[in-house]
Amino acid sequence: MSERIRVLVVDDSALMRKLIPAILARDSSIEVVGTAMDGAFALKKIEELQPDVVTLDLEMPRMDGMEMLRLIMRRAPLPVILFSTHSKEGGYATLKALAMGAVDFLAKPKDAAAGHLENIADQLIAKIKVAKRAVGRKLPPAVVGEDLHPPKKGNRATLPPRRVIAIGISTGGPNALQFVLSQIPADFLSTILVVQHMPEGFTEMFAKRLDECCALEVHEARSGDLLLAGRVLICPGNRHMMVRRMPRGDMAILSDGPPVNGHRPSADVLFHSVAQEFGLTSVGILMTGMGDDGAEGLGAIKAAGGMTVAQSEDTCVVSGMPRAAIVKGYANKIIPLDGLGAYLVNNYGVERSATEKNEKNEKSDKHDKIERTPVPSQRS
C-alpha cells in the first residue's frame, strides 16, 4: 500500500477546521496531519509536520493566506489548494494566488458557513490527489507583475480570423494561459476560443486579468460575439461554448446543455463544434489539466482536416487531458509550454506567403472535389 497523502488544513473558521478533515477522512489514502487558524501558525506546522499538500483559506487574520503562500513559495514550495469565496475580491485574490504558485482552487459553497460541504467533498479529494502528483512540476512565473504596466490596447481593425483556434485547459490553466497569451502580439491574425474548467463567477475576472496583461483583446464570451482576428473569448463558467458560421459573421454561441465528461464548460463541446463548422481552418489545442475532457473533440478536429496540438506532458501541472489525446493518436504535434506561443504566432499569426496561399487553394480544391464525389459504397 502506498503512503497516505499528508494534508494540513489552514482556515480561520473553527467549523471549517472540523468539517474539512471530516470529509477528507472518507478517503483512506488521505491523512489530515494537522490544522491551523492562520498563516503564522501554519508555517510553523509545515516545518513540524512536513505535509504533502496544504488546503488554504485566503481570508484570515494576523497572516492571511496570500502572505503565507508567498512565504511557502519562497522558502520550500509545496502543493497548495486554495479555498476561495465567490465574491469579487475573493475571485481576484484567487487568480493572483494561482499566479503565485498555488496548484488549484475550490470555491466555497455559499452555505459553507452552515456546514454544507457535501457538494464539494469529491472535488476536494480529487484535487488533493492531483496536487500530490504535481510535486516537482512548476509552471513559468507570471509574466506580468503588479508593478508592471499592461500593454496598451490600440484601435483594432475588425478582420475575420485566419484560423479558429480552440483551447481546452484545466488544472494549471490560469498561469499557463497567461504565459502563452502574453507572447502573442495585438495584430495576431487568428481568433482564440478558450474552455478553462472554472466555476461560474470566476471566468469574468479571469478574462479581465488576462486582458490586463496581454496585447490581445480578451473577454468572457457572450452569445453572438464575433470571431475576430486578435480576439480571445473565454467560455463562462457553467455554460458551454460553440461556434456558428452566420451571414453577418462567424460567432460564438453559448448554451446550457448538460455537462459533458462531468464538465460545463466542456472542451469536447467546443472542439466538436469547431471541427464541424471550420474543418480545414480549425486548430485544437489541449493543455494542462486532469481527466480526459477534449480528447475526442481533438480527434474530431483532426478527422476534419484541422491541426491538433497537445502540450507536452513534462510541462503540464497535470498531464491527464493532453495525454488522453496523445495516446489515442489525436495530436498532430506535441509542443512544450514555452514553445506554444511562438508556434501560434509563426503559423497562424502572420500574413500567408504566396506559396502557402497557393498550397492552401490546391488543398481546398482537392478537398472540395472529394466532398462532391459520390461514394455509394460508404453510404450503404
CATH (domain of 304): 3.40.50.180
CA pair distance 18, 107, nearest whole angstrom: 18
pLDDT level of residue 28 (50, 70, 90 thresholds): very high
CATH number at residue 43: 3.40.50.2300
The proportion of the chain whose per-residue pLDDT surpasses 90, expressed as a percent, equals: 63
- What confidence tens digit (pLDDT) does each residue in 234-290 have? 999 999 999 999 988 999 999 999 999 999 999 999 999 999 999 999 999 999 998
Identify the pLDDT of residue 140.
52
* Direct distance between the N- and C-terminal alpha carbons of the chain, in angstroms, rounded to an integer: 54
Residue 156 placed within a domain:
no
Q: Are residues 237 and 110 in the same domain?
A: no
Identify the pLDDT of residue 139.
52
Give the three cell numbers for residue 230: 486578435
Give the three cell numbers for residue 136: 516537482
Largest CA distance in the chain: 75
Residue pair 244/277 in contact (Cβ under 8 Å)? The answer is yes
HSE-up of 92 (CA within 13 Å, CB side)? Answer: 6
Residue 370 placed within a domain:
no
Q: Are residues 170 and 65 in the same domain?
A: no
Residue 380 placed within a domain:
no
Q: Are residues 171 and 66 in the same domain?
A: no
CA pair distance 298, 329, nearest whole angstrom: 10
The proportion of the chain whose per-residue pLDDT surpasses 70, expressed as a percent, equals: 83
Number of domains observed in the structure of the chain: 2
Q: Are residues 186 and 127 in the same domain?
A: no
Identify the pLDDT of residue 352.
54
Residue 152 placed within a domain:
no
For 31-68, letters b (16+ CB in 10 Å) and e give bbbbbbbbbebbbebbeeeebbbbbbbbbbeeebbbbb
Of the listed ranges 40-44, 94-98, 214-218, the least confidently predicted one is: 94-98
Residue with cell 460567432: 251
Cβ atoms within 10 Å, residue 261: 18
Q: Are residues 84 and 198 in the same domain?
A: no
Report which of residues 356 and 302 the model is more confident about. Answer: 302
Residues involved in catalysis = 170, 197, 293
Domain span holding position 37? 5-133
CA pair distance 44, 281, nearest whole angstrom: 55
